[in-house]
Structure 1
Amino acid sequence: MSVAADSIHLDAVTKSFGDTPVIDAITATLGGGEFTVILGPSGCGKSTLLNLIAGLEGLSDGRIRIGTREVQDLPPKDRGCAMVFQNYALYPHMTVADNIGYALKVAGVAKLERARRVAEAARVVELEGLLDRRPSELSGGQRQRVAIARAIVREPRVLLFDEPLSNLDAKLRHGMRMELSQLHRTIGATTVFVTHDQVEAMTLADKVLILNKGRIEQFDTPDAIYHRPATTFVAGFIGAPPMNLLAVTGRGGKLRLDDGTEMALHPHDGPALLGIRPEKITIGGEGFAAQVVYREDLGSHTAIVARLPGGQEVQVATPIGMHLAPADTITLDLPQDHLHLFDPATGLRLETP
């Protein structure tokens, strides 16, 4: 099963509820055939933006184009989209096959053609042996597959997912991530996936669109978002533990804290926020002193919190087996190749030599 894929063009898309703005003049192009993840904290406007694309909400201003057609004034059924919700919304009295094929039946698709397409959708999501069961006889992961099959049986050019994995436990979520990735490669539809889970975003996406208070903070590949965050919001939102951000001043080729502690060599001149990922900080050698105040053993690594002389704290990710305890004094070093600088007033990334 494969379908043609349309790009989605958002042109100054705006949505307000009363006097409260939710989506603030967003302009972006979601590539045809790409897997785009809309990521952000609760209340940032992720689901609202997805609903605007689907036609479940009306725009306050702006335009939406899917392929070559402007769709902002079209009803949902005419936009060429199919949507999978967080709530699977299956009909409990219908079999799996009837749930999958219901939209085709309503659309008047002939019985033989309907049966063929239901069988093909069931094959793609590995439900062939469950078509005669009812939703109450299925596991959570199987119900999710039925909801996905119900969407793809329509052979949509655009497939929309609204936090579809949030009701599953950790093991099932991992399995469903792999299945969704394979599904995307199989059917080729333009896929837009809303989540607040950065692991889902970083593992599934071709591109990640990070929203904050209805505005785009960054729209780029997972690799670029992790290694070159455009703003302090992205730097602090992505990563576990997130990037450290320290107020520093550059002077004479060195970055220093307010108390004069030298943090790193760098040509920036003036105030800045210094960012560095916890796993890039090295322990030992020449550097600056810090005191361990907390530690967590996380299996793959140990995360510690260390307090600097001026009172600021940094998180450090270290290999398992490094024996550190609260109150230990350690020496930290910040490799210049892994430093990020941001404007303390705007939060925007500073490009420096």
Structure 2
Amino acid sequence: MSSANITLDNLQKSFGDVDVIPGLSVEITSGSFTVILGPSGCGKSTLLNMVAGLEEVSAGRILIGGREVQNTPPKDRGLAMVFQNYALYPHMTVAENIGYALKVAKVGKGERLKRVAKAAAFVELGDYLDRRPSELSGGQRQRVAIARAIVREPEVLLYDEPLSNLDAKLRHGMRMELHDLHKRIGATSVFVTHDQVEAMTLADNIIIMKEGRIEQFGTPQEIYHEPVSAFVAGFVGAPPMNLVTARVEGGKLVFNEGTIGMIKAPDGPVTLGIRPEKIVADQGAISVSLVYEEDLGSHRVIVSEAADGQRLQLTTQLAPEARFGIRFPSDAVHLFNPKTGERLEFSVEPITS
């Protein structure tokens, strides 16, 4: 199966006077698996629907394989889409559901049966071709929907939150299946979700969206370890990054009267970010009290509260006391502008004495 790059050039979408996507540009590499991630209402599904041709473009260009398609009907764009609801015909068999688009396109019966069998084999449904959707599990129905998309041999596969109707165990299994399927078929995949676990595990690249704009575009590791803003830092991670108010005071980075390290920066407030797994629970300079604890077997998720009322989550294998000390390794700290949320590039040096 071939693939194609996708170029979005100043793409815009408005509903009346409301700019849902005010102007978005990005290049999605041919053969890549790109996840569009963001909270509800950020415009991610609208963006996907414009690429698919299900939503009219207000302004800008969509190019697939170098060909402008914003005014091209969906069936002629060289793509296929997998929806959140499976949208299977209940009166048709699995084979008939998979091959329906080929039948409408008047593909010959022999070629149609061959391609249906091939697509079914890709998603391991070869033994279920004579069953109807009501006889399948949720995961099997989702695989039928995927097979129905890939049977057309598209250059681009679009997924609109396809796993949200599955339970946790099935979602985990389907993530592995989608990852394996992508490696085998090689089509350019664009996957919309609000689930950051899906994004982190499936993506080659992640587009983080906020209010119709791209907040950050990068690999999962870049998104996690080098967030460009407090929004990205607080959105990605389970538990998410702690974002608290700290201050620079006389060359020191201070949180809740505890000095984290030495810093060259103007005095004043900053937003300090630190991942829960980076906080060290020992007799550190910052004293906190235990608020809530979840014992997950392999580790504990602790919610703690500092003296000034700010709360921090940390993960640890230790069972903390009602009050305990914590410290922030200086190389694990992120700093953000408290007004704009933009990342600040500062070097924090540990205290040596």
* Offset at residue 263 of structure 1 (A): 3.5
The code of the aligned residue for 2:289 comes to Q
Q: How many residues are aligned here?
A: 346
Task: Name 1:324's counterpart in structure 2.
Answer: 320
Residue 265 (structure 1) aligned to one of 252, 262, 265: 262
* Alignment deviations for residues 288-309 of structure 1 (CA, whole Å, 9 cap, x no partner): 2111222111233211122212
- Aligned counterparts, 1:31-70, within 5 A: 31-70=29-68
* Alignment deviations for residues 312-348 of structure 1 (CA, whole Å, 9 cap, x no partner): 12111111xx2225xx221111001111011112111
Task: Name 1:349's counterpart in structure 2.
Answer: 343
Task: Name 1:300's counterpart in structure 2.
Answer: 298
**Range moving further from structure 2, 76-85 or 308-317:** 308-317
* Contact kept? 1:160, 1:193, Cα under 8 Å: yes
1:132 aligns with 2:130: yes
Q: Distance in 1 between matches of 2:266 and 2:301?
A: 32
Please state whether the residue corresponding to 2:243 is helix, strand or coil.
strand
The code of the aligned residue for 1:332 comes to I
Q: Distance in 1 between matches of 2:169 and 2:293?
A: 26
Task: Name 1:335's counterpart in structure 2.
Answer: 329
* Offset at residue 269 of structure 1 (A): 2.8
* Contact kept? 1:96, 1:134, Cα under 8 Å: yes
Please state whether the residue corresponding to 1:234 is helix, strand or coil.
helix
* Contact kept? 1:99, 1:146, Cα under 8 Å: yes
Among the aligned pairs, what percent are the same residue?
A: 63
* Contact kept? 2:40, 2:194, Cα under 8 Å: yes
* Offset at residue 234 of structure 1 (A): 0.7
Q: Distance in 2 between matches of 1:108 and 1:43?
A: 39
**Range moving further from structure 2, 247-256 or 186-195:** 247-256
* Contact kept? 1:250, 1:269, Cα under 8 Å: yes
Q: Distance in 1 between matches of 2:335 and 2:117?
A: 54
Please state whether the residue corresponding to 2:208 is helix, strand or coil.
strand
- Aligned counterparts, 1:99-248, within 5 A: 99-248=97-246
* Offset at residue 265 of structure 1 (A): 3.2
* Contact kept? 2:293, 2:301, Cα under 8 Å: yes
Unaligned segments of structure 2, at least 5 residues: 348-353
Q: Distance in 1 between matches of 2:272 and 2:265?
A: 11
* Contact kept? 1:266, 1:336, Cα under 8 Å: no
Please state whether the residue corresponding to 1:347 is helix, strand or coil.
coil
* Contact kept? 1:252, 1:267, Cα under 8 Å: no
Task: Name 2:10's counterpart in structure 1.
Answer: 12
The code of the aligned residue for 1:92 comes to P
Q: Distance in 2 between matches of 1:22 and 1:44?
A: 8
The code of the aligned residue for 2:264 comes to P
The code of the aligned residue for 1:105 comes to K
Q: Distance in 1 between matches of 2:45 and 2:160?
A: 6
The code of the aligned residue for 2:141 comes to R
Unaligned segments of structure 1, at least 5 residues: none
* Offset at residue 67 of structure 1 (A): 1.0
* Contact kept? 2:283, 2:324, Cα under 8 Å: no
- Aligned-residue RMSD, C-alpha: 1.3
Q: Distance in 2 between matches of 1:324 and 1:248?
A: 24
**Range moving further from structure 2, 71-80 or 19-28:** 19-28
* Contact kept? 1:261, 1:309, Cα under 8 Å: no
- State the TM-score, normalizing by the size of structure 2: 0.95
Task: Name 2:351's counterpart in structure 1.
Answer: none
Please state whether the residue corresponding to 2:302 is helix, strand or coil.
strand
Please state whether the residue corresponding to 2:102 is helix, strand or coil.
helix
Q: Distance in 2 between matches of 1:236 and 1:158?
A: 31
- State the TM-score, normalizing by the size of structure 1: 0.95
Q: Distance in 1 between matches of 2:92 and 2:304?
A: 57
Please state whether the residue corresponding to 1:65 is helix, strand or coil.
strand
The code of the aligned residue for 2:75 comes to K
* Offset at residue 277 of structure 1 (A): 0.4
* Offset at residue 209 of structure 1 (A): 0.5
* Contact kept? 1:249, 1:269, Cα under 8 Å: no
- Aligned counterparts, 1:81-100, within 5 A: 81-100=79-98
* Offset at residue 260 of structure 1 (A): 4.1
